[in-house]
C-alpha cells in the first residue's frame, strides 16, 4: 500500500485527480439525467467508479515510474491539472458557455408573446396524447414573454413554459389562423432544449 501512502502525501496529485474526475463525471451526467433522485444516485455511482479508476491508474503509473520522483511528483500532476482546465473550459456545465448556449437555442424572434391572443394558443401534453386543444382557462393567466419563444417556423411559433408538476412541461404552439401546424413541423432535434438544472422542456408531439 505504499502507492496509497504516496498519493496521500502528494496533495497536488490527489486534489487534481479528484477535480478531474468530478468534471469527467459531469460529462456522463449531463447527457441523459432528468430526475434528481436518479441523477444523485448515478452521480455517486459514476464518481465511485471514476475514483477507483484513478487509484488503479495511479498505482500503475507508480509502478512504472517508481524510481522517477520527478515524474510522480511534478509531471503527472501537471498533466492532470492541464487536463482539468481543458475540461473545465469545455465542460457543458460551465456557466458562461451554458448560458450562451441556452440563449442561442432560445434565439431572437420577432414575435412578441405579450401581443399573442391567448385564445389562439394551442396546447398539447401527455394527457391528451398529442391532440391539439384550445388553451385551457387555467393557463390563460400566464404572462408569456419573448424569452418563452423557442422556434418560429412557417408562421407557427413554438413556446415552452416551465409550468407543471414532477418535471411535467407543456409545449404551446401559436398560429395567427388558430390552426394546428402539420405533423412533424416541430419534430426536429433542434426543438429539444435543456435547462441548466437538467430538466428537459419538450414539445410532446415531437416525441
What does the domain layout of the chain look like in residue ranges? 2-93, 103-206
This prediction has a pTM of 0.25
pLDDT, averaged across the chain: 51
The pLDDT of residue 168 is above 50: no
> Looking at residue 163, what is its pLDDT?
38
Q: Which residues of 160-188 are buried (b: 16+ CB within 10 A; e: fewer)?
A: beeeeeeeebbbbbbeeeeebbeeebbee
Q: What mean pLDDT do residues 156-177 have?
A: 48
How confident is the model over 119-138, as a mean pLDDT?
Answer: 36
Per-residue model confidence (pLDDT) at position 46: 64
Residue 146: per-residue pLDDT: 45
pLDDT tens-digit map of 27-45: 665 555 544 555 555 566 6
Compare 187 and 105 and report the one with higher pLDDT.
187
Give me 155's grid cell.
Answer: 408562421
In the predicted structure, residue 181 carries a pLDDT above the cut 50 = yes
Listed residue (3, 4, 9, 16) closest to 80, CA to CA:
16
Q: What are phi and psi of 5, to 5 degrees?
A: -65, -40
| Distance in angstroms (rounded) separating the CA atoms of residues 148 and 153 | 15
What does the pLDDT average to over 191-203?
Answer: 38
- Confidence grade of residue 83 (pLDDT, cut at 50, 70, 90): low
Q: Say if residues 132 and 165 touch (Cβ distance below 8 Å).
A: no
Name which of 82, 93, 164 is nearest 123 in CA terms: 164
Task: Give me the mean pLDDT over the 138-164 stretch.
Answer: 51
Residue 170's pLDDT is what? Answer: 45
Amino acid at each position: 500500500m505504499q502507492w496509497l501512502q504516496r498519493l496521500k502525501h502528494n496533495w497536488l496529485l490527489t486534489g487534481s485527480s479528484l477535480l478531474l474526475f468530478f468534471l469527467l463525471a459531469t460529462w456522463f451526467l449531463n447527457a441523459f439525467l432528468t430526475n434528481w433522485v436518479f441523477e444523485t444516485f448515478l452521480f455517486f455511482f459514476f464518481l465511485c467508479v471514476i475514483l477507483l479508476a484513478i487509484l488503479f491508474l495511479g498505482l500503475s503509473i507508480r509502478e512504472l515510474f517508481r524510481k522517477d520522483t520527478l515524474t510522480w511528483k511534478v509531471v503527472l500532476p501537471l498533466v492532470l491539472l492541464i487536463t482539468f482546465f481543458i475540461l473545465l473550459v469545455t465542460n457543458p456545465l460551465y456557466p458562461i458557455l451554458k448560458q450562451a448556449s441556452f440563449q442561442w437555442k432560445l434565439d431572437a424572434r420577432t414575435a412578441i408573446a405579450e401581443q399573442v391572443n391567448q385564445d389562439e394558443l394551442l396546447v398539447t401534453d401527455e394527457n391528451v396524447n398529442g391532440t391539439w386543444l384550445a388553451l385551457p382557462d387555467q393557463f390563460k393567466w400566464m404572462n408569456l414573454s419573448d424569452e418563452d419563444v423557442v422556434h418560429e417556423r412557417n408562421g407557427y411559433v413554438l413556446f415552452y413554459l416551465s409550468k407543471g408538476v414532477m418535471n411535467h412541461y407543456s409545449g404551446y404552439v401559436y398560429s395567427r389562423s388558430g390552426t394546428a401546424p402539420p405533423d412533424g413541423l416541430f419534430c426536429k432535434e433542434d426543438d429539444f432544449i435543456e435547462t441548466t438544472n437538467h430538466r428537459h422542456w419538450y414539445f410532446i408531439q415531437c416525441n
